[in-house]
Structure 1
Amino acid sequence: MNKIKLFIVALLIVLTAGSAMAQKTGYISVDQIVALMPETGRLDSLLRKYQADSLNPQFTYMVSEYNRKDSMVSTKDSAKLSKQVKDQIRQELQGYAYQIQNWQSIVQQQLQGKQQELLEPIYRKVEAAIQTTAKENGYAYVLNREALLVMPPADDLFPMVAKKLNLKVPPTAAASTGIPKK
């Protein structure tokens, strides 16, 4: 009876070890795939258009409002305004002055937010392609190459995902990912 139990335990160990070994691990550089996407190439022009159409008019409006309100409190006609109104206008002037002085950082923040908004669907598309590629090729684990300092032996899924997304891989990208040159 003891030999039977020992045999069953040994069989279970062999089966679980075999199934654990059968799980494939791969890695991919998500940033490199995203950089190759055609949508990413159009990102710079979309951000420039956003800045020209939305952010630059805001700045022009702020400067014109600052100048208009400044002239309201610094001309002869300001004597007609009550102290309370003058104080309110001066407060508004301080707000405009702060925004004008810090406009560069405000623009950077808004551009970063717009860039994230535009990149989100691209990352979703890449993630879906990675999921599909991993499933089709039997990968249990796919790691992001940029997050790894040391990695176990694994397959680079870059060529398969690039093919799934119909991306042309430039020779420099192929060399850095270990893709054989054709």
Structure 2
Amino acid sequence: MKKVLFATLFVMGLSTIVGVKVQAQNKIGYISMDELVSVMPEAKKADTVLSQYRDGLAQAQQQIQQELQTRYQAYIKDSATMSQPKKDLETRGIQELANKLQNYNQDAQQQMSLKQQEVYGPIQKKAMDAITEVAKENGYAYIMTKENLLVSPPTDDILPLVKKKLGIK
């Protein structure tokens, strides 16, 4: 009985020591995802695509805004000579156009967000795949984003390794 108890305690102590050694050997690294994505060649193309998309949305918004302004100015100019039913009709039309502009602005923000996810999704996936490969190749157990760290123990910045993996200078 004493031998079984001694053997059990010995195995538990040994596994604790091994666990501490394994835990002490875990390498921790960090990387700035923003910096990595910004230096990837695909990001420049994505920025151009988003800029063109944003310009298209802004142009459509300007057209609605211009139509609203023109219609309002015409209402102000002609309202003195309009009958009350005509004034009511024009007021309702102007209000509907103002609502259309407001709804368009909200929709444009949503569309811009979706377009950004569509354009940057593959770039971010490529970056994550490269980070994962670098972590495996270099024995990193944990990789954290630099943007989310307030305080961290001394660790390795793997950005140069990932840039090299992606062929970025």
Give the structure-2-normalised TM-score. 0.72
Structure 1 residue 28 displacement after superposition: 0.8
Is 1:15 matched with 2:18? yes
Kept in 1, the 8 Å contact 2:57–2:108? The answer is no
Aligned length: 163
- Identify unmatched segments of 5+ residues in structure 2: none
Q: Distance in 2 between matches of 1:122 and 1:77?
A: 60
Q: Distance in 1 between matches of 2:55 and 2:8?
A: 76
Structure 2 letter corresponding to 1:165: L
Partner of 1:132: 133
Partner of 1:35: 38
Aligned-residue sequence identity (percent) comes to: 34
Cα separation, partners in 2 of 1:106 and 1:96, compared to 1, 3 Å: same
Kept in 2, the 8 Å contact 1:27–1:144? The answer is yes
User: What per-residue deviation string (whole Å, max 9, x for no partner) do you get for residues 12-69 of structure 1?
Assistant: 1122222222322111111110110112223443233223334213422442355257
The structure with higher relative contact order (CA 8 Å, sep 6+) is 2
Partner of 2:94: 93
Partner of 1:119: 120
Kept in 2, the 8 Å contact 1:55–1:107? The answer is no
Misfit runs of 4+, over 6 Å:
105-108
Partner of 1:59: 62
Matches within 5 A, 1:38-49: 38-49=41-52
Matches within 5 A, 1:76-91: 79=83, 83=85, 86-91=87-92
- Identify unmatched segments of 5+ residues in structure 1: 169-182
User: What per-residue deviation string (whole Å, max 9, x for no partner) do you get for residues 108-144 of structure 1?
Assistant: 9468524454333322221121122212322221011
Q: Distance in 1 between matches of 2:138 and 2:94?
A: 63
Structure 1 letter corresponding to 2:15: L
Partner of 1:162: 163
Helix, strand or coil at the partner of 1:25: strand
Q: Distance in 2 between matches of 1:20 and 1:30?
A: 26
Q: RMSD of the TM alignment (CA)?
A: 3.6
Kept in 1, the 8 Å contact 2:26–2:140? The answer is yes
Give the structure-1-normalised TM-score. 0.68
Q: Distance in 1 between matches of 2:88 and 2:156?
A: 68
Partner of 1:178: none
Alignment partner for residue 24 of structure 1, among 23, 27, 30?
27
Structure 2 letter corresponding to 1:7: F
Q: Distance in 2 between matches of 1:129 and 1:162?
A: 9
Kept in 1, the 8 Å contact 2:32–2:159? The answer is yes
Could you say which structure has the higher helix fraction? 2
